[in-house]
A and B are shown apart, each in its own frame.
Chain A
Amino acid sequence: MQGQAIQADFKQDSLHDAQMDYYGTRLATCSSDRSVKIFDVRNGGQILIADLRGHEGPVWQVAWAHPMYGNILASCSYDRKVIIWKEENGTWEKTHEHTGHDSSVNSVCWAPHDYGLILACGSSDGAISLLTYTGEGQWEVKKINNAHTIGCNAVSWAPAVVPGSLIDQPSGQKPNYIKKFASGGCDNLIKLWKEEEDGQWKEEQKLEAHSDWVRDVAWAPSIGLPTSTIASCSQDGRVFIWTCDDTSGNTWSPKLLHKFNDVVWHVSWSITANILAVSGGDNKVTLWKESVDGQWVCISDVNKGQGSVSASVTEGQQNEQ
């Protein structure tokens, strides 16, 4: 397998996020230069499709919506805005701008497509807003104020699967989707939010283990098992794996994956939820896998700059330049 390096002109401004679309054929990046860029990376190529301008500050994150809604990308920025971009007839345009936050918007995450187009946004103003597309260009906004004091750093939706669906789902019973997401913030907490029957969002659970800002949370994709899993990482260098086995979803137990020496910025689950990629402040990316005995082991160091190649990761080779 050939790795691939995409080199983009970012004018010395930092990149802050890079996300592939649903199919893994398009790459969206965002940067301190206020731009959002989209590349076609099929077959090892790297064609710049769009350079989206609209933010007035560094852009922190991008998120692709499920393709069933078209080609839609959300971006959030220090400029307090969330912009939703859409490809229409081959060109990308801004389709909606959400200005409901008073401070930097740090994280955006689309809900499972089963719920419709719903975007969760976490901001440094401590609030989390939920944008729901209601048709005809309208977005309904719900806001959770004071979700995390001094700021929410990350939001991540729970997969749209009722726990235990495979194991003990009485047939004929009305399936009950419960919309949930996790958020992490500067109050060192991870909070789990649940939509009540009246449509209001309520804090369901506080997960406490980190001793510093929670930088990222990632709810693992469902692989049909009854266990729910969340990974969290923090300024304190720790990465925790939280699991919940009971059907009520109330008992979460943390397991320390590792304590790093530096901030851990980002955690990302593989699609099959068996590998966790951890990105640390020392610019190192490590891959972790749960062993048979339930311990998390580092299976690889991905160290781009030095081109180290581990047994299991095929390193991207820098192209011509």
Chain B
Amino acid sequence: MKLKEVDRTAMQAWSPAQNHPIYLATGTSAQQLDATFSTSASLEIFELDLSDPSLDMKSCATFSSSHRYHKLIWGPHKMDSKGNASGVLIAGGENGNIILYDPSKIIAGDKEVVIAQNDKHTGPVRALDVNIFQTNLVASGANESEIYIWDLNNFATPMTPGAKTQPPEDISCVAWNRQVQHILASASPSGRATVWDLRKNEPIIKVSDHSNRMHCSGLAWHPDVATQMVLASEDDRLPVVQMWDLRFASSPLRVLENHARGILAIAWSMADPELLLSCGKDAKILCSNPNTGEVLYELPTNTQWCFDIQWCPRNPAVLSAASFDGRISVYSIMGGSADGLRQKQVDKLSSSFGNLDPFGTGQPLPPLQIPQQTAQHNIVLPLKKPPKWTRRPVGASFSFGGKLVTFENGRAQAQQGAEPPHHVFVSQVVTEEEFLQRSDQLQQVLRSQGFVSFCQKKIEASQTEFEKNVWSFLKVNFEDDSRGKYLELLGYRKEDLGKKIAVALSKVDGPNAALKDSDQVAQSDGEESPAAGEQLLGECIKEGKQESEFLPSAGGTFNISISGDIDGLITQALLTGNFESAVDLCLHDNRMADAIILAIAGGQELLAQTQKKYFAKSRSKITRLITAVVMKNWKEIVESCDLKNWREALAAVLTYAKPDEFSTLCDLLGTRLESEGDSLLQTQACLCYICAGNVEKLVACWTKAQDGSSPLSLQDLIEKVVILRKAVQLTQAMDTNTVGVLLAEKMSQYANLLAAQGSIAAALAFLPENTNQPNIAQLRDRLCKAQGQPIPGQESSKTPYDRQQLPKGRPGPVAGHTQMPRVPAQQCYPHGENPPPPGFIMHGNVNPNAATAQLPTSPGHMHTQVPPYPQPQRPQNGWNDPPALNRVSKKKKMPENFMPPVPITSPIMNPLGDPQSQMLPQQPSVPAPLSSQASFPQPHLAGGQTFHGIQQPLGQPGMPPSFSKPNIEGAPGAPIGNTIQHVQSLPTEKITKKPIPDEHLILKTTFEDLIQRCLSSATDPQTKRKLDDASKRLEFLYDKLREQTLSPAIISGLHNIARSIESRNYPEGLTIHTHIVSTSNFSETSAFMPVLKVVLTQANKLGV
């Protein structure tokens, strides 16, 4: 198709291949007069700007020349490496002159653009060529058999290639060989071509078919084959292109007879030796394969002859042709639409004629009936065969699992038929050796449960103090008396402290020393701060101001009483049983000890008041701490302490906090530290989270503080997370399977990295199980399939993606279609804007029948707008955000009552804004009444290849809200996330579950019975929810019983628990529970043991 055109009757030269941007130089043609018969001449440079869709070419510069040209070439001589506009423009003039121009100066608008000029030739210089090996060598040809070789570095005196040929004739073409630098060919209209060897300085061969009709208008060497060349004839009687091989110079190797009249110019593509352009007096421009003679392409041209044609050296698909109608056109041989051209013509017409009433007749022209033919020929087909430069010879693409697929086509693809067959290679790319090694170690640790020694190793290997601390803290999780050990880590060793206190007290005089023993315990905590050489809450004293209010009131009491000394007043007060006044008096008189002693006698209330007043009055630096100790108000300490004292605050919490508030307080402190600007403090927050056992927050904090992008730093994190989760699971009996968004993200990143290194099995092992996080479920599916295995570790080895053939999967309307896109035609993903997470399968027991019932809903829908499949945006929607900070409000939002699952009949109807879906922000995928079968109706699943990702809409309205609520928040310190996710990993085949073996049925009945009992006596809805959830999650246990996959030790342990339940000895049950957990394989029991503990604890609490 035509790309550009310029209205010039001119010779043309493209800028060299190195040049960017691409320029086209035009020089007024000496042979043809333009329409104005003007004899003025100019040299112009245009830029080829393909990003401009118009047909116009941008003129960069015009130089008015005194010469007109027979030939114009642009050589790369002295072009700098960057290819800036330069090189040399070499022109052949009318009077034996060769002129060298500096194109960069022309573009710059300089007046002096001529580098050199030489008039040595006779007659017009029609032939010019630059040696491609030595670009300073230029060959020229003119009349009288004159051929000169010019050295651009020494332009004054040319050389000759040898003696002039006889008889003298005009030289119409010269061409340097493309393979051998000292070979030159020349041709003349008489039909003879001569090949010169410049080393020998003589002609070595003459090529002629002796027909006398061969009038050479063009000569070109084969770009690749040194001995081959083509000659074109402009004689109408012999309008041919002859292909010659000098090794068989008696006759042409091949004759291309594609033109009807004489050929005026040829051009052989340097980019593809199978493309030879020729233009002739038949007004055709053809592109042929000179090696076969086949015409590959005919350019759509006007009916004018072209006298010059050139490939663009830089852009191999582009060529330019100069025609006698005074136009230079730039074409692409890649086909395409010619609409642009037509538009230009239309524009021209309308600009010439004006609109509609060109002749001012007052009558608009009748609408023109454009002949249909023009319209239908807009499309220009490309070359019959693809040019070489479009054929990708090599490629390497990554695929899942770090595999690299590479292929290449033989580099010597040349002639020889014995080319080896092509290969596609699949290689495993491993770039992170250390990462893999460490990952492997971690796996071994998990297997061997050698956590303490692992932590110890890590401590020893730690490079930084902080790292060491973190590992020390983690390690403590696996040891007895973890709080005490935490304290030690924070620098508070009890024995050391005792010694220090002894020293301090011994300085006091004798009588007081007697108090030492009794005081020691009481004071030790109070003196921690000084002992540690730090001040706790030093700044907080200013709050003391408020307390002064107490004093006037106290004084008031005093003032009312009759005068006398204070002792007397106290006595009076005591005598009247007025402890309060007596205490006030003592306080007023600063008799603190008296006041406290009296207050004790006056009862709890008074004591508390007195303590308060005392603290208000006292301004010692440690008062606040003592206050907190006495008042047990640790929250305040944690909330308001100077963060420089985080260590002390944490120590205090470790020492005093009750188990139920411990995690919360640690969390709180961590959160404060984290929100502090100080990056050092931020990292310390990690320690708090470790104490709290809050995996999700640890991940968040760590990620914030560390550069987590490299595999090794991710490994650093994962090691800690895995260990901490393990610890939490052991110590807190939390359901550690809950995985928060962030953790899920990190874990899947980690697994992805492992997979990318080819360790697919390891990736699977680390991927958290039983989670409904979409990314994890997807990855799991991908890993399993990549491994060519069913998903392991699941009962009945079913993948979360249903692979069955689903007869019902095809709703009627689609069934008849044999056309593929049946896929979307099923309503697999019609989830409106609340698409489900992938890999989610509902609880098989929930409502098995619902599946079939639903199927026919919204059949045949595929929504273009509705992104099916896992919506990454879901999490952003907040459905699974870590709830830590706004727990309360979320709780309130939770509907309290269980509602039966409502079929999702038409999820599309539920816009994102659906209030109900927003009300359940953290709802993870919840069992919904669509069976996965229903949702994945691929008809052809035989191969099991189909992807059955996603079935469940989540957060869909109509879901049973109560399903999702349980434990969403987990206990403080537990990883936050959904606990329900277990549900979804139940295989769909549940419908045909095996029965629980009779001997174990007792377990189910006992546990269920216990839950029922608890439910009936539980009062608060939260507990009920917990129990509800527990009951559901125990399904995991029952499934394992059905599958008989539990080890005998666990089974017998469970029976023991059941027996203790029968005897209502729940503490014993809990002990057995702990025993099982500590001795069994984590993965085996993790799905149900934590929840069993919850039930036992509740039962114990409720006393059922």
Interface residues of A (CB under 8 A from B): 1-10, 12, 14-27, 29, 31-32, 41-43, 57-58, 60, 66-72, 78, 80, 84, 86-90, 93, 95-96, 102-104, 106, 113-117, 124-126, 132-140, 145-146, 148-151, 160-162, 165-166, 169, 171-177, 186-189, 206, 211-213, 223-225, 236, 265-266, 268-272, 274-275, 277-285, 287, 289, 292, 299-300, 302, 304-305, 312-316, 318, 321
Contacts and interface: CB of A to CB of B under 8 A. Distances in A.
A117 B821 CA distance: 9
Contact of B871 (A31, A93, A114, A277): A114
B786 A124 contact: no
Given A27-B405, A88-B820, A149 B3 contact: yes
Contacts of A132: 864
Nearest to B430: A312
A192 B918 CA distance: 34
B820 A24 contact: no
Given A117-B862, A136-B814, A150-B332, 17 more contacts: A12-B419, A16-B392, A18-B405, A18-B406, A24-B401, A26-B945, A60-B392, A68-B829, A68-B838, A103-B334, A176-B873, A187-B50, A265-B392, A271-B756, A275-B429, A277-B404, A316-B423
B371 interface: no
Contact of B424 (A6, A32, A66): A6
A19 B394 contact: no
A133 B943 contact: no
A280 to B, nearest CB: 7
A162 B862 contact: no
Nearest to A189: B51
Contact of B425 (A6, A68, A136, A277): A6
B921 A171 contact: yes
10 contacts: A20-B426, A103-B335, A150-B318, A151-B334, A177-B873, A186-B50, A206-B51, A265-B394, A302-B406, A316-B423
A285 B949 CA distance: 35
Interface of B: 3, 20, 50-53, 83, 314-315, 317-318, 332, 334-337, 379-382, 386, 390-409, 411, 413, 417, 419, 421-431, 433, 709-711, 745, 749, 752-753, 755-756, 758, 782, 785-786, 788, 813-814, 817-825, 828-829, 838, 860-864, 866-878, 881, 912-913, 918, 921, 938-940, 942-943, 945-950
Contact of A149 (B51, B402, B403): B51
A31 to B, nearest CB: 8
Contact of B947 (A68, A137, A278): A68
B823 A69 contact: yes
Contacts of A172: 877-878, 918, 921
Contacts of A102: 335-337, 379-382
Nearest to A276: B398
Nearest to B785: A23
B872 A175 contact: yes
A310 B822 CA distance: 46
B946 A70 contact: yes
B783 to A, nearest CB: 9
B749 A266 contact: no
Nearest to A3: B427
A126 B947 contact: no
Contact of B395 (A17, A20, A80, A93): A17
Contacts of B398: 268-271, 275, 277
B876 A89 contact: no
Given A89-B939, A302-B404, A175 B876 contact: yes
A117 B83 CA distance: 44
Q: Which 10 A-B pairs have the closest CB atoms?
A: A175-B873, A95-B820, A171-B878, A20-B399, A67-B947, A137-B819, A86-B820, A149-B50, A1-B428, A316-B425
Contact of B876 (A104, A124, A169, A318): A169
Contacts of A316: 406, 423, 425-427
Given A22-B947, A171-B878, A146 B869 contact: no
A12 B50 CA distance: 36
Most chain B beta carbons < 10 A, residue from A3, A171, A211, A213: A171
A274 B398 CA distance: 11
A316 B755 CA distance: 19
A158 to B, nearest CB: 13
Contact of B421 (A8, A68, A95, A138): A8
Contacts of A96: 819-821
Given A7-B421, A175-B877, A270-B398, A292 B785 contact: no
B411 A305 contact: yes
A68 B837 CA distance: 13
Contacts of A20: 397, 399-400, 403, 405, 426
Contact of A275 (B431, B709, B938, B939): B431
Nearest to A136: B825
A66 B921 CA distance: 29
Contacts of A87: 940, 943, 945
A172 B914 CA distance: 12
Most chain A beta carbons < 10 A, residue from B379, B821, B875: B821
B923 to A, nearest CB: 13
Contacts of A138: 821
Contacts of B315: 150, 186, 212-213
A186 B337 CA distance: 16
A27 B334 contact: no
Most chain B beta carbons < 10 A, residue from A10, A16, A90, A103: A103
A114 B913 CA distance: 19
A161 to B, nearest CB: 6
A162 B876 contact: yes
A132 B866 CA distance: 12
Nearest to B753: A272
Contacts of A169: 875-876
Nearest to A4: B426
A235 to B, nearest CB: 8
Contact of A14 (B391, B417, B430, B864): B391
